[in-house]
Structure 1
Amino acid sequence: MFQTLTDKLTQAFGIFRNKGKLSEADVKAGMREIKLAMLEADVNFKVVKEFINRVTERAVGGEVLESLLPAQQIVKIVNEELCAVMGNKNEKL
């Protein structure tokens, strides 16, 4: 399951490669692919919807760091939001 999700997320990030600047349409196309990947991995629809909204808001409305390419910026945002959804602390089982 995780390998499939990883592969699909990697494909989705490919949309952002070779872009000098990201347009809102680019972000929407990439978020659609990420949404489909997460839903295919059986992530709850409400969680996916909230996650996609937060990532889109940060990617479209946020500042792009000069040191990062647009694709790297998207990966950074997605990583931070995935960590927030899954929890930042180690919890005992």
Structure 2
Amino acid sequence: MAFESLSDRFGSIFKKLRGQSRLSESNMDEMLKEIRVALLEADVNFKVVKSFVNDVKEKAVGMDVYSKVNPSQMVVKIVHDEIETLLGDEQCGINYSKNGLTTM
């Protein structure tokens, strides 16, 4: 349920961006603020949120915009890539305990 809520929040944040052909610094700051609030409300650690938002902002400020892609699509890609990096892009199996209780 927490992931659904977070997914819905991100969806509404990105929906606001889709209608814009250009991203201003104020639009970017507003989007990052909304992302920060969404993550904090989803009980993500404050330090993790701060680092995540800073990484997204750093990459978005210096991004090269391709002619066939609008800036809002580039921001969505940056956020997606940062979430993948944050969660880890490597799959790992579950180590089951022999006594029947497995801790994750």
Bin the TM-score by the shorter chain: over 0.9
The offset of 1:90, in angstroms, is 0.2
The offset of 1:70, in angstroms, is 1.8
Is the deviation greater in 65-74 or in 25-34?
65-74
Q: How many residues align?
A: 93
| Contact in 1 for aligned 2:40/2:49 (Cα 8 Å) | yes
- Unaligned stretches of 5+ residues in structure 2: 95-104
Q: Deviations over 1:4-62 (max 9, x none)?
A: 00111111112312211111111110011011111111111101100000101111221
Is the deviation greater in 42-51 or in 9-18?
9-18
Aligned to 1:79: 80
The structure showing larger relative contact order (alpha-carbon pairs under 8 Å, at least 6 residues apart) is: 1
The offset of 1:65, in angstroms, is 2.1
- The structure with the largest helix share of the pair is 1
1:1-93 alignment to 2 at 5 Å? 1-93=2-94
- Unaligned stretches of 5+ residues in structure 1: none
TM-score (norm 2): 0.84
Q: Kindly, what percent of the aligned residue pairs are identical?
A: 41
TM-score (norm 1): 0.93
Runs of 4+, deviation exceeding 2 Å: none
The offset of 1:67, in angstroms, is 2.2
